[in-house]
Amino acid sequence: MNTIQLNGAPHNCDAGTTVAALVSAMTGRALLPSGQAADGGRLGVAVARNADIVPRSQWSATALEPNDDLEIVTAVQGG
Amino acid sequence: MTESLVRNDELRNDAQPNDALASEGQPNDALVIDGVALGSRLIMGTGGAPSLAGLGAALTASGTELTTVAMRRYAVDGAGSADTNLFALLLENNIKVLPNTAGCFTAREAVMTAELAREALETDWVKLEVIADEHTLLPDALELVEATEQLVHRGFKVFAYTNDDPVLALRLEQLGVAAVMPLGAPIGTGLGILNPHNIELIVARAGIPVVLDAGIGTASDAALAMELGCDAVLLATAVTRAQNPVLMAQAFKHAVIGGRLAAQGGRIPKRQHALASSAMEGRPDV
């Protein structure tokens, strides 16, 4: 079990968990290896790991390390 | 409006009227930004709406084809579904998404937010907003210029939210922004256009679209912006926090069209004294 920071709060995940698995669990949507949603819709989510963007094409190849700092963002209402 | 500030059609030839379409109450000329034609010159923000359903109804009533969103943390507890629905709502309604960098105080934050938005929403358009402080929400010119340089270099199409400063607006254009967006008044104040002369100056010298952003309170403010020569108007809370957002969205839709037509029609010069429109000759002896 690893502890990471997820959107500013501690979060436990199994060792070897990928960014793709985390995003899929958070959004409740299955992902293709490309990082696109398997349902064909747009996911609208981006991931930064330790202040670097992880492109969606790299999500399934990126395993989380202990103490990683993850920011997962989406579009919300705003001027 | 002084003669010297009237739009120079050699520089800006996008204001040619089309009588056939204008007579139907619709300007024929699409707003073109970064090569993309938009049928509506009303750009909407989504902030301040109490419900997503109400927002959707207001956006539809406004006729907008381009709408801003903010980038924020996805809610871990699953309550983020409503946020996902905002993106879905815009996609369903064929409304293009313009992510903003609201809440950023530094160029570094703004660039990172823009990169996250590009990755999440698959667009290189960004409304660049770098504010100086939470009290005024006014743009920080130095950070704005720094962020603009970096974002243009990274291939973003920058919609620069800026002060109503004609000098800064020209500087931003020279740096390669896709559109310059001077404020009418501070964000959320509804004070209208505080310095119409500066807006005219910005328009007269600009070779890129000018979008009046922030400070709009009611429909006449938007019409004035278009009469001053702006290419579009961006507003959010004037609709979302109106007592009846759908009615207000319709009002803005028509105000922007009316103001655009008036700008194309060419207003009469202002005079010091009255000028009769009925002939004095041939009056009957009554």
pLDDT of residue B47: 85
Give me the pLDDT at residue B71, please. 94
CA distance B1 to chain A (A): 30
What's the CA gap between B189 and B184, in Å, rounded? 10
Q: Which two tokens stand for residue B91?
A: 């996609």
* Mean per-residue pLDDT, A19-40: 90
**Which neighbouring-strand residues pair with B161?**
B181
B interface with A, Cβ–Cβ below 8 Å: 45-49, 55, 68-74, 76, 78, 80-81, 83-84, 86-88, 91, 97, 99-100, 102, 112, 115-122, 187-188, 214, 236-237
Q: Which residue of A has its CA nearest to B97?
A: A75
Catalytic machinery residues of B:
127
- State how far the Cα of B17 lies from the Cα of B90, in Å rounded to an integer: 31
**Residue appearing with tokens 């004070």:** B191
The residue of chain B nearest to residue A5, with distances taken between CA atoms, is B76
Tell me which chain A residues have a C-beta less than 8 angstroms from the C-beta of B91: 42
Tokens of B78: 């699953």
Provide the pLDDT for residue B13.
43
Q: What was the ipTM of the complex prediction?
A: 0.92
Chain A residues whose CB is inside 8 A of the B69 CB are 75-78
Centre a 10 Å sphere on the Cβ of residue B286 and count the other Cβ atoms it contains. Answer: 3
- Find the CB nearest B68 among A6, A73, A78: A78
Average pLDDT per consecutive 10 residues, chain B (286 residues; last block may be shorter): 46 46 56 92 90 89 95 70 69 92 96 96 96 94 98 98 97 97 95 97 96 96 98 96 96 96 93 89 90
Give the pLDDT score at B76. 60
Spatial contact of B109 and B72, defined as CB atoms under 8 Å apart = no
* Cβ-nearest to A77 among B47, B74, B81: B47
CA distance B42 to B200: 19
The minimal CB distance from A77 to the residues B46, B91, B112 is found for: B46
Helices (H), chain B: 19-22, 52-62, 81-92, 107-121, 141-153, 166-175, 196-205, 219-227, 237-240, 245-265
- Range with lowest mean pLDDT among A3-17, A26-40, B2-16: B2-16
A58 vs B: CB within 8 A: no
pLDDT at B79: 45
Q: Tell me the residue type at B155.
A: G
How close are the terminal C-alpha atoms of chain B, in Å? 41
pLDDT of residue A28: 87
User: Judging by DSSP bridges, how do beta strands B211-213 and B232-235 pair with one another?
Assistant: parallel
Interface test with A, best of B55, B73, B101, B183 (most A CBs within 10 A): B73
